[in-house]
Structure 1
Amino acid sequence: MSSTVEIKVPDIGDFDEVDVIEILVAVGDTIAAEQSLITVESDKASMEIPASQGGVVKTLKVKVGDKVAEGAVILEVEADEAAAAPAEPAPAAKAEAAPAAPAAAPEETTAPAAAAAPAPAPAPAAGASGRTSPTAAYAEAEVPLRNLPHASPSVRKFARELGVNLAQVTGSGAKNRITADDVRAYVKQALATGGASPVGSTLPGGEGFSVLGWPKVDFAKFGEIEARPLSRIKKISGANLHRNWVMIPHVTNNDVADITDLEALRQQLNAENKKAGIKVTMLAFLVKAVVAALKKFPDFNASLDGDNLVLKHYYHIGFAADTPNGLVVPVIRDADKKGVLEIATETSELAALARDGKLSPAQMQGGCFSISSLGGIGGTDFTPIINAPEVAILGVSRSSMQPVWDGKAFQPRLMLPLSLSYDHRVIDGAAAARFNAYLGGLLADFRRIIL
């Protein structure tokens, strides 16, 4: 004799709701008591929910992406005396037990089995409960139930937020464990190839990276709006920035430089050259200091070309110029051969051309390293996006007076925030920290430039 029994979520502790991240059984499976049915995940851990009752799975009430609470129905089983027994049969016994029940009354069970054939589709179960799942497509992924991707709960959650199917990600951790970096690498590779499968994928089907579509919103229904087309510069720079952010593994090192004495020198030079019409900005000193740092750390003056690192023996420094139509990056060529006054004059001229929209393509090409300065606006630090094919960029924020301990007392010093973004494929964290520290030392005592 058989009956239909609902299997529900048991006590899950202090959590009101948990996410369903894996379905371990399918409609038609014969399950035993204490067999794992689904895997759920909270913010802290994942756990498998076991069956309280054995039998044949008739309907699934949940799917991947659903949220469940204690008492929620997971599935319904058709239980009989053998399946209801608390003792779990051996694997061989379970294999023989599955056909044993219908064998007793073949004529009665054949028709219901045929009628139930289309039932495994998860959509009807979702519709019956009124739930929708943002990852419904992954509930039907052709992944062996006992060969699921090896990843921690936090990585699984991270992948779901990005819309990544972990079955398509190759793990680089111990025993092929998938890490967060593996997920990031998969996303970047997928975007770089226009959504195609990443190079080297061994999974069948060739399914590529999938994200939620860009939201379509009728903003006018909420209030008055104005549609303004992007400028040509923003369209071009936006596409480049997007590519650079996606393709380059950015890391940013933040430091500060004591520019108290350098600011005094800058003001002195401006006073001396006022009649000549030359205005020295902090950017001119930064360019010279960056050139000296690039000479000491040549990997920062390089570009990736496939498997080769191209080291450059020239020093063309770009700087971000703010214009009414967007940011452009003029380039000071051969900055190592120019003095501070000459660099100050050239940056002023290039910035004026940029504002007037008269920069030529040649004046924006060939850069080795870029500087983005927000000193005239504000901020404490930020993450500038690397200007490919360069491997690093320096961000500079507004300087401020701060108390600095000199070993005996606190002294007021003018401190300049430095934010160095670097390509982690080429530069490691220790090298970036040394570069920033060396640059800060040059700015603190500009006499070191001549050494």
Structure 2
Amino acid sequence: MQITTPDIGVDKATVAEILVKVGDTIAVDDSIVLLESDKASVEVPSTSAGVVKSILISLGDEVSEGAVLVELEASEAVVTTAEAPKAEEKPVVAEVKTEAAPQVAVTQEVTSQVVDVQVPDIGVEKATVGEILVKVGDSIAVDDSIVVVESDKATVEVPSTVAGIVESISIQVGDSVKEGVVILQVKTESAAPVASAETAQAASAPVAQVEQAPVPVIASVPAGDVEVAVPDLGVDKAAVAELLIAVGDKVEKDQSIIVVESDKATVEVPSTVSGVIKAIHVTLGQSVSEGIALVTIAAEAQAAAPVTASVPTQAAPKAEAPKAVVASAPVAVPATHTADKLTKEQNAANAKVYAGPAVRKLARELGVVLAEVKASGPHARLMKEDLFAYVKTRLTAPQTAPAATVVAQLSGLPKLPGFDAFGGVEEKVLTRLQQVSIPQLSLNNYIPQVTQFDLADITELEAWRNDLKGNFKKEGISLTIMAFIIKAVAHLLKEEREFAGHLSDDGKSVLLRNEIHMGIAVATPDGLTVPVLRNPDQKSIKQIAVELGTLGQKARDKKLSPKDLQGANFTISSLGAIGGTAFTPLVNWPQVAILGISPATMQPVWNGQSFDPKLMLPLSLSYDHRVINGADAARFTNKLTKLLKDIRTLLI
């Protein structure tokens, strides 16, 4: 039985944490894997109960919808017999042949029950019902999406945990729901074999003579030297970061022996056998890839899985009737409900910290405020290990003088001094959007960027816009100067392709993009967000104006999906009518340029004989100096000013 990646709202996500291991027994809805995209972390629940047979992904792997994550073995069947086998007898699975046994009519007795389907742990305290995907009377299967719920930063489809017919729906679109709230009730049906009255007559029938019976035979794995090699890490190469064992150490199967590290993930490699470390074939810092031998282990003899062998047996003694019934019974796993030890204010603060749903749930159970915990995960994401380390520190720290938690300084700045002697401070927690922006903004420390300033005469362009905006307004479209600027910049980027490119990882080339996808900075109450306008070079001014309005509204309503924020290769940031004369926008890595727009003002412009009043638009082009030279930037802004002065040149 395979558990696959559900629809998580993005094309691809990275495996950030594997929450189970081979041999674990899990129930339906138990979280098995934590996936992470640029904008959200999602725990993938198991859709079936059973024992983890194999894990088919590794930390750092990129997965998409339908990718197989783990394989499960169904829970073992419960066997009831008329008579228990004697202590000295081995259990025998017999093939029974009867002589002229009477026919037994078997019918199916159908039983039904109504099951509540609830909101799972979605990583936030509350979410809004955005869409109901089923109606009363619909027949649904396990994993069918039934409801779409939305939080501030993500949209998640909730799958059904059971199969059956929708009996009733307990929520409505717009309702605010949280973990445990009943979404709908499903009528499930199960069939059980029931023998008819003729079965009773079979009790007096002669019992079959057993000819052969498959008997479980335990095969053993002989001792010997076993090489443990690098598994598939999802990357071409990784470096040996830590050796967890030494020659002569005794290790158990699945015990971590070596830590390897790539740019994207750190993975502990487990031993595949139990035994004694005989030799270590790698050193710290060595680059390794899949299949390279790490250690040699003198393996101990191990029992393997039972092998069923068919052996002749003697005739079994007569019994009154064959009453053995084999029924597959799912193991009931009681749900655990742990009291929330945090206040509403603390839960609200935790929701703004970059952490996965499992970490948030653990924090609620332990009563930990996540803002106080030092993060060690990628992009400053809090891991379970961080939480455990924090709790351990608090439990072992002296009660008289608790040490203040040191928050990771992404910029490399030293720890803040104390301000108690100067009136103290009042802490204001950054919004979730501001917090997730910090790692991205910190990348600007590594970009040598310069800003080129220029002025564009948009007097005639603004006059034309005023002529058009009346008709646009009748159609419900807001026509701003930004639509014209986007069209002009998109046209220019087709000529000056380096400005929409990326510096290669080795710094030896520029990667020129085949399409133009433009990021448009939008100010919201929670902070700045940058939705992406696709292929503006292929769209009319009217189409651009419509999409600008849609993206801006979605940003303010917190309805942007992860896809709306990905793939840009150039950005425009406008101060609109807020104020200012010029500014230096920050290049958004991996892009190499960004255009800042300040408010236009009427200025006197010398025409050779006198001064004319002109509406001048300040332009601020910041660029990565490793890719773009100053002369190139000056040429770019000069071309842009000419396009904006006479937009008709776009038609030539």
- CA distance in structure 2 between the partners assigned to 1:238 and 1:405 by the alignment: 45
Corresponding residue SS for 1:439: helix
> In structure 2, what is the equivalent of residue 214 of structure 1?
415
1:291 aligns with 2:490: yes
| Per-residue deviation, 1:442 | 0.5
Q: Which has the higher strand share?
A: 2
Which residue of 1 is the match for residue 429 of structure 2?
229
SS in 1 for 2:591: coil
**Which deviations, in whole Å up to 9, do the C-alpha atoms of 1:204-230 show, x marking residues without a partner?**
xxxxxx977233222x54337431111
What is the correspondence of 1:44-443 to structure 2 with a 5 Å cutoff? 213-218=414-419, 220-223=420-423, 225-243=425-443, 245-306=444-505, 307-443=508-644
Distance 1:351 1:269 in 2: 21
Amino acid at match of 1:290: V
Structure 1 position 358, deviation (Å): 1.1
- Rounded to whole Å, the distance in 1 between the matches of 2:413 and 2:588 is 28
TM-score (ref. length: structure 1): 0.52
Higher gyration radius (CA): 2
The residue type equivalent to 2:470 in the other structure is A
* Residues 283-326 of structure 1, C-alpha deviations (whole Å, 9 max, x = no match): 11111010111112111121112233110121111110001111
SS at structure 1 position matched to 2:615: strand
1:251 alignment partner, SS class: strand
Q: Which residue of 2 aligns with 1:22?
A: none
Task: Note the alpha carbon deviations across 1:144-192, whole angstroms, 9 max, x for none.
Answer: xxxxxxxxxxxxxxxxxxxxxxxxxxxxxxxxxxxxxxxxxxxxxxxxx
One-letter code of the match for 1:236? Answer: V
Identify if the C-alpha distance between structure 1 residues 338 and 231 changes in structure 2 by more than 3 Å, giving closer, same or farther. Answer: same
Indicate the percent of aligned positions where both proteins have the same amino acid: 49
* Matched position secondary structure for 1:274: helix
Shift of 1:423: 0.6
Q: 1:23 maps to which residue?
A: none
User: How much has 1:408 moved relative to structure 2?
Assistant: 1.6
When residues 212 and 295 of structure 1 are mapped into structure 2, their CA distance, relative to the original with a 3 A threshold, is closer
TM-score (structure 2 length as normaliser):
0.36
Equivalent residue, structure 2, for 1:104: none
Q: 3-state SS of the aligned residue for 2:642? A: helix
Letter in 2 for 1:325: D
| Counterpart AA for 1:445 | D
Pair 311,212 (structure 1): closer, same or farther in 2 beyond 3 Å:
closer
**CA-atom RMSD in angstroms:** 1.8
State the alpha-carbon separation in 2 of the partners of residues 264 and 435 from structure 1: 25
Shift of 1:389: 1.0
Whole-angstrom CA distance in 2 between matches of 1:217 and 1:267: 55
**2:211 matched residue in structure 1:** none
The separation in 2 between residues aligned to 1:429 and 1:412, in whole angstroms, is 30
**Mapped partners of 1:311, 1:284: distance in 2:** 24
Q: Does the residue aligned with 1:352 lie in a helix, a strand or coil?
A: helix
**SS in structure 2 at match of 1:264:** helix
How far apart, CA to CA, are the structure 2 residues paired with 1:392 and 1:211? 25
For residues 391-441 of structure 1, what are the alpha-carbon distances to aligned partners after superposition, in whole Å with 9 as ceiling and x for unaligned?
A: 100001011000001122100000000000011010000000000000011
1:258 CA drift (Å): 0.3
Q: Give the C-alpha shift of residue 375 in structure 1.
A: 2.2
Letter in 1 for 2:435: K
SS in 1 for 2:573: strand
Cα distance in 2 for residues equivalent to 1:439 and 1:408: 26
Q: Describe the superposition over 1:317-362 as per-residue Cα deviations: whole angstroms up to 9, x where unpaired.
A: 1110001111010100011111111111111111111111111110
How far apart in 2 are the matches of 1:227 and 1:211?
21
Residues 293 and 405 of structure 1, relative CA distance in 2, 3 Å threshold: same
**What per-residue deviation string (whole Å, max 9, x for no partner) do you get for residues 41-76 of structure 1?**
xxxxxxxxxxxxxxxxxxxxxxxxxxxxxxxxxxxx
Give the residue type in structure 2 aligned to 1:419.
S
Question: CA 1:211–1:387 in 2, change beyond 3 Å: closer, same or farther?
Answer: closer
Distance change (3 Å), C-alpha of 1:292 and 1:228: same
3-state DSSP of counterpart to 1:270: helix
Q: Secondary structure at the match of 1:317?
A: strand
Q: Matches of 1:214 and 1:324 in 2, distance apart?
A: 29
How far apart, in 2, do the equivalents of 1:330 and 1:377 lie?
Answer: 20
Partner amino acid for 1:349?
A: T
CA distance in 2, matches of 1:336, 1:237: 28
Whole-Å separation in 2 of the counterparts to 1:234 and 1:211: 18
CA distance in 2, matches of 1:212, 1:406: 51
CA positional deviation for 1:368: 1.3
Runs (5+) with no aligned partner, structure 1: 1-193, 195-209
1:102 paired residue number: none
Instruction: In structure 2, list runs of 5 or more residues that go unmatched.
Output: 1-379, 381-410
Structure ranking higher in helix proportion: 1
Instruction: Return the alpha-carbon distance in structure 1 between the equivalents of residues 457 and 476 of structure 2.
Output: 28
Which residue identity lines up with residue 230 of structure 1 in the other structure? L
Distance in 2, Cα, partners of 1:389 & 1:395 = 17
- Whole-Å separation in 2 of the counterparts to 1:212 and 1:328: 25
Separation (CA, whole Å) in 1 of partners of 2:541 and 2:426:
45
Following superposition, the deviation at residue 242 of structure 1 comes to 1.4
Number of residues paired by the alignment? 241
Residue by residue over 1:1-26, the C-alpha shift from the partner in whole angstroms, topping out at 9 and shown as x without a partner, is: xxxxxxxxxxxxxxxxxxxxxxxxxx
Which residue identity is paired with 2:478?
A: K
> Which residue pairs with 1:35 in the alignment?
none
Q: How does 1:19-34 map to 2 (within 5 A)?
A: none
Aligned mates of 2:613, 2:441 — CA distance in 1: 38
Whole-Å separation in 2 of the counterparts to 1:280 and 1:301 = 25
How far is the alpha carbon of 1:254 from its aligned partner? 0.2
